[in-house]
Amino acid sequence: MSAQRWSTHAIEMTRDRVVKRFPKNDEGRAEREWRALTLLAAHAPGLAPEPWEADLAADEPVVVMSRIAGDPLRAGLLGNEQVKALAEAVTLLHSAVPADVLDGVLPRPGRQVRLIEHLDVWGETVRPTWDGLVRQAMDAGMGWLGRSGLAAGGTGEGRAVFGPGDGNLANYLWDGSRVRIVDFEDSGRSDRPFELAEITEHVASWVEQPLDVAAFLGHFDLCAAETARLRECRRLLALVWLFLLAGDDPQCPRNPPGTVERQAERLLELLA
């Protein structure tokens, strides 16, 4: 089947295999996908699709993998069993790659510094086009960002982990007994608080029915420094999502009406 209009690849699926075709100049997405699948096959077999073959040098790179069973998680439909299984899958993903191997993995795209670069631009170009609650939240968020020290690397980083690079719950598949993970095109070395914030602040975790964030995060034993960084990463990612949602095409929206206003409220609550 074809990928949706905002996807970065095309997908073909049969009963037992998935073929991902990436566009020319894919900015390393196919290579990251293949690297993740091979690493996880070696260090956490069964957590992700098996890597079958790849042509990374093609004009349009291709990655072929096994197809795994399961239904995408939806935040509001997660009971205690699913939340626990999600946390277990995330914990395994984060800890599977040995430290000496992880040291050789490039950082994942979309990390703190790059996000702040985007926010600096959006603050000048997008913020002036909004007023009311959305503008209030943008102003509060940009004010917080300027004081946070994040641009200078403030709050440090938590324990290094292998991160998938996408917090969308649709990439976590429940098969009735466990959760497995797909989609690693933006994967790489990261830190645990940032990756947890990716999940809790992704629009898919709250736009319909909210993920029980407290229950989910309660499965992770975070030290004081990681807890502090998690709070700041959640604020940062909520601010990023506010600007992303503010740029949604009103003629072809991806999310229900009022989502940007709800995101503004969410950000203000996180900043309180």
The total of structural domains in the chain comes to 2
As a whole number, mean pLDDT of residues 201-220 equals 93
Interval 121-132: pLDDT, tens = 999 999 999 999
- 244: tokens are 């992303």
Percentage of the chain with pLDDT > 90?
A: 81
Is residue 250 pLDDT above 80, yes or no?
no
- Residue 25 confidence (pLDDT): 85
Judge if 89 and 182 occupy the same domain: yes
| End position of a domain, from candidates 27, 43, 68 | 68
Judge if 60 and 92 occupy the same domain: no
Interval 21-49: pLDDT, tens = 998 888 999 999 999 999 999 999 999 99
Min mean pLDDT across 27-36, 56-65, 148-157, 169-178 is at: 148-157
CA distance 256 to 40: 36
pLDDT band at 1 (very low <50, low <70, confident <90, very high): very low
- Residue 4 confidence (pLDDT): 35
Judge if 88 and 201 occupy the same domain: yes
| End position of a domain, from candidates 47, 68, 89 | 68
| End position of a domain, from candidates 68, 89, 123 | 68
pLDDT band at 170 (very low <50, low <70, confident <90, very high): very high
As a whole number, mean pLDDT of residues 249-268 equals 89
Judge if 137 and 247 occupy the same domain: yes
Residue-number span of the structural domain to which 31 is assigned: 1-68
Judge if 153 and 134 occupy the same domain: yes
Judge if 75 and 64 occupy the same domain: no
- The CATH number of whichever domain residue 39 belongs to comes to 3.30.200.20
Judge if 83 and 10 occupy the same domain: no
Interval 72-126: pLDDT, tens = 998 777 899 999 999 999 999 999 999 999 999 999 998 999 999 999 999 999 9
pTM, full prediction: 0.92
Give the closest residue to 3 by CA, choosing from 170, 187, 245.
170
Judge if 28 and 125 occupy the same domain: no
* Class of residue 152 by CB neighbours under 10 A (exposed 0-12, middle 13-18, buried 19+): exposed
Judge if 245 and 113 occupy the same domain: yes
- The CATH number of whichever domain residue 99 belongs to comes to 3.90.1200.10
Judge if 46 and 166 occupy the same domain: no
Judge if 80 and 213 occupy the same domain: yes
Judge if 85 and 9 occupy the same domain: no
